[in-house]
Structure 1
Amino acid sequence: QTVAYNFGVPVHRYIILDFNGFKKIIDLVGGVDVDVPRTIVDNAYPTDDYRTERLVIPAGRIHMDGELALKYVRTRHADSDFGRLKRQQQVLMALRAKILSLQTLPQIPEILRALGDSVQTDLTIPEMLAIAQFARGVPEERIRLLTVEPSMVRSWQTPSGAAVLIPNRQALAALMEAFNWER
């Protein structure tokens, strides 16, 4: 409902993957290779025990296991939520490339069983296989990664004190036009 309200894009189907599932799927494919454009230093990366640790990920091509990939896509103290969004897209593209290179599409049912309670979806196995087969035929250069940029939102504080971003619908119009470019 939130995506449909804010962007006019209805979400008909879903896959929800928790942090453990994210780490497992990266590990199941043997990790991913990611080009880190600049060194990331986060002096307050949150740990599972509600503490923090110092996270340093050097610039360059890094082979990431599930644990490091999760840290890479979650950190935001080194830049912002917008930087985090771009890193998430980067890792998803690296995961796509790895899955396609391994020819793992027939193993989707086994992968889902291995993920167990870490994944929730309303897609059936045949639907997932059909989507994966379709995705295999889409060249990477045909994939457009769109992101909400800082100029497309404004900061706001809720009555309870939470910092949130409010969409600037006029600024988002160009993004939505790009999203709808070939329907």
Structure 2
Amino acid sequence: MGRMAKSATAKQEAKRPRRRRRWLWYLFWTLMGLFGLTLGALLGYLSFAGEGTVRRAVVAYIRGETKPENAFPGKDRITVLIVGADENRDRRKRVVETAARTDTIVVAQFDFKNQRISALSIPRDTLVRIPRHGWGKINAAHVLGGPQLLVETVSQLLGNIRIDHVVIVSYKAFEEAVDALGGVWVDVEKPMHYHDNWGDLHIDLEPGLQLLNGKQALGYVRFRHSDSDFHRIERQQKFMRAVKERLKDPSVWLKAPNALSAALRHIRTTMEYEQMLALALFARQLPDTSIRTETLPVRDGRGTNLLVNREKARELLQELGFWDDGYLSYAR
């Protein structure tokens, strides 16, 4: 009896490794099958991707080109001047390719080391010293000397900060990027109605949460006809938070390369496609608490001019990390 019991026990113990090996093989082939399905779906998706933008994005991601340390070698942080420009039109209301006044001015610092983004909006009516042109509203700098003069003006205004890159966004770029994402959900806070036939601007929005298409979104961020430029800046900042929230949806995130490609057809920038994608990926993975948006402190001046509140501006620039370098100081 003892021998028989031992023999049965030995057989059971011999079966266990076989079962384990069998389960390991089942697991292995299941994982391989899932990998094959995923890879097949990905290759199929890439094969039908329009303009190769998705393919380019995936290749950049696989090669690590969208990592900040590779997209911006040797940089712990970069500062980007983001500008929304008005459209100039001729007598027939056609858009003409000339330097226009800037409708939106934002200085954004992407801090890779400390994992944060700080964005500072500058009101368009801020009175500044424009190099080689004297005093004027900051939105005139682009008209007087193009992007280079605008960079000089903004840098000087903020204490000679270094601006690494520039992105100039046209209305068309904004509209097409929003449409490529399938729209953006925004809680419109009040009725907004305005019509400018000459500027081809038509805004008709009612209050409430709604999915805005490109034209509607542009009207939302440009509207300021029953309030002030400060309210418009608040809406622009609110809209950017809504875009970030929208990109958390995986199905929408897959559209990001096409949205970026659509925008690139109508923007001017000093960055490569992979660098802009790297910034989008960096922003997407940050919690909302690590992204701070502020407006340059100003006070009323003569007429419609706004004057910088130097003391508050100094404190804010230091808080946001723009003045981490000891030699920087506020422009006089």
Bin for the TM-score computed over the shorter chain? 0.7 to 0.9
Q: Provide TM-score, normalisation by structure 2.
A: 0.46
Paired position in structure 2 for 1:168: 309
The alignment-based identity, stated in percent, is 29
The 1:33–1:121 alpha-carbon spacing in structure 2 relative to 1, beyond 3 Å, is: same
Q: Which amino acid aligns with 1:153?
A: R
Paired position in structure 1 for 2:246: 98
Question: For 2:230, what is the secondary structure of its paired residue?
Answer: helix
Q: In the TM superposition, what is the alpha-carbon distance from 1:116 to its structure 2 partner?
A: 5.1
Structure 1: runs of 5 or more not aligned: 158-162
Q: In the TM superposition, what is the alpha-carbon distance from 1:164 to its structure 2 partner?
A: 2.7
Q: In the TM superposition, what is the alpha-carbon distance from 1:10 to its structure 2 partner?
A: 2.8
The 1:144–1:81 alpha-carbon spacing in structure 2 relative to 1, beyond 3 Å, is: same
After superposition, residues 109-128 of structure 1 pair within 5 angstroms as 110-115=258-263, 117-128=265-276
Question: What is the alpha-carbon distance in structure 1 between the residues aligned to residue 269 and residue 306 of structure 2?
Answer: 28
Question: For 1:34, what is the secondary structure of its paired residue?
Answer: strand
Q: In the TM superposition, what is the alpha-carbon distance from 1:128 to its structure 2 partner?
A: 1.9
Question: For 1:15, what is the secondary structure of its paired residue?
Answer: strand
Q: Does 1:129 align with 2:277?
A: yes
Paired position in structure 2 for 1:160: none
Question: For 1:14, what is the secondary structure of its paired residue?
Answer: strand
Q: Does 1:179 align with 2:331?
A: no
Q: In the TM superposition, what is the alpha-carbon distance from 1:57 to its structure 2 partner?
A: 2.6
Question: What is the alpha-carbon distance in structure 2 between the residues aligned to residue 100 and residue 182 of structure 1?
Answer: 31
Paired position in structure 2 for 1:47: 196
Paired position in structure 1 for 2:176: 24
What do the CA deviations read for 1:75-117 (whole angstroms, capped 9, x no partner)?
1112100000010111112122223422237x53x44443354
Question: What is the alpha-carbon distance in structure 2 between the residues aligned to residue 96 and residue 114 of structure 1?
Answer: 18
After superposition, residues 66-77 of structure 1 pair within 5 angstroms as 66-77=214-225
Q: Provide TM-score, normalisation by structure 1.
A: 0.78
Q: Which amino acid aligns with 2:321?
A: N
CA contact (8 A) 2:178 2:259 kept: no
CA contact (8 A) 2:186 2:239 kept: yes
Paired position in structure 1 for 2:288: 140
Q: In the TM superposition, what is the alpha-carbon distance from 1:30 to its structure 2 partner?
A: 0.5
Structure ID, larger Rg = 2
The 1:3–1:56 alpha-carbon spacing in structure 2 relative to 1, beyond 3 Å, is: same
Q: In the TM superposition, what is the alpha-carbon distance from 1:13 to its structure 2 partner?
A: 0.6
CA contact (8 A) 1:82 1:148 kept: no
What do the CA deviations read for 1:98-156 (whole angstroms, capped 9, x no partner)?
23422237x53x4444335411111112222322222222112221111235xx23323
The 1:121–1:59 alpha-carbon spacing in structure 2 relative to 1, beyond 3 Å, is: same
1:156 to 291, 302, 325: 302
Paired position in structure 1 for 2:105: none
Larger CA deviation: 129-138 vs 72-81: 129-138
Structure 2: runs of 5 or more not aligned: 1-151, 325-332
Q: Which amino acid aligns with 2:198?
A: D
CA contact (8 A) 2:177 2:263 kept: yes
Q: In the TM superposition, what is the alpha-carbon distance from 1:61 to its structure 2 partner?
A: 1.0
CA contact (8 A) 1:14 1:122 kept: yes
